[in-house]
């Protein structure tokens, strides 16, 4: 690896197969709260850092970055992966079929 190259770190965020959940965790030194809620149309994400909203009501889609823009005040990004195809995540398969990943940081999960 060259001197100025940065390693890409991808961490798995552990989820439960429930329709609504709130997770408090530290991502790359950022005190975050993730809220996932299943509606009829899609699974949606809210993300706050130190209580300040970063994104709200973002539809969770397979392989799509959920934050996207650094100017929103979040370092790194989140994305879902379908391990059995290319479908968008649904609550019943969270943690078994669909996994949420954080790119560019370390995850230290806390009890909610």
The domain segmentation of the chain, as residue ranges, is 10-109
Q: Please give the pLDDT value at position 70.
A: 83
- Read off the pTM: 0.85
Cα torsion through 38, 31, 63, 2, rounded to 10? -170
Q: Mean pLDDT across the chain, nearest whole number?
A: 89
Q: Has residue 106 got a pLDDT over 80?
A: no
Q: Please give the pLDDT value at position 1.
A: 44
What does the block give as tokens for 41? 């149309």
The pLDDT tens digits for 75-95 are 999 999 999 999 999 999 999
């Amino acid at each position: 690896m060259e001197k100025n190259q940065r390693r890409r770190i991808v961490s798995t965020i552990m989820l439960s197969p429930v329709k609504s959940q709130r997770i408090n965790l530290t991502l790359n030194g950022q005190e975050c709260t993730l809220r996932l809620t299943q509606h009829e149309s899609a699974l949606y994400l809210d993300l706050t850092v130190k209580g300040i909203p970063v994104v709200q009501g973002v539809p969770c889609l397979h392989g799509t970055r959920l934050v996207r823009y650094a100017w929103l005040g979040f370092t790194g990004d989140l994305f879902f992966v379908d391990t059995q195809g290319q479908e968008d995540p649904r609550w019943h398969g969270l943690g078994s079929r669909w996994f949420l990943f954080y790119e560019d940081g370390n995850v230290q999960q806390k009890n909610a």
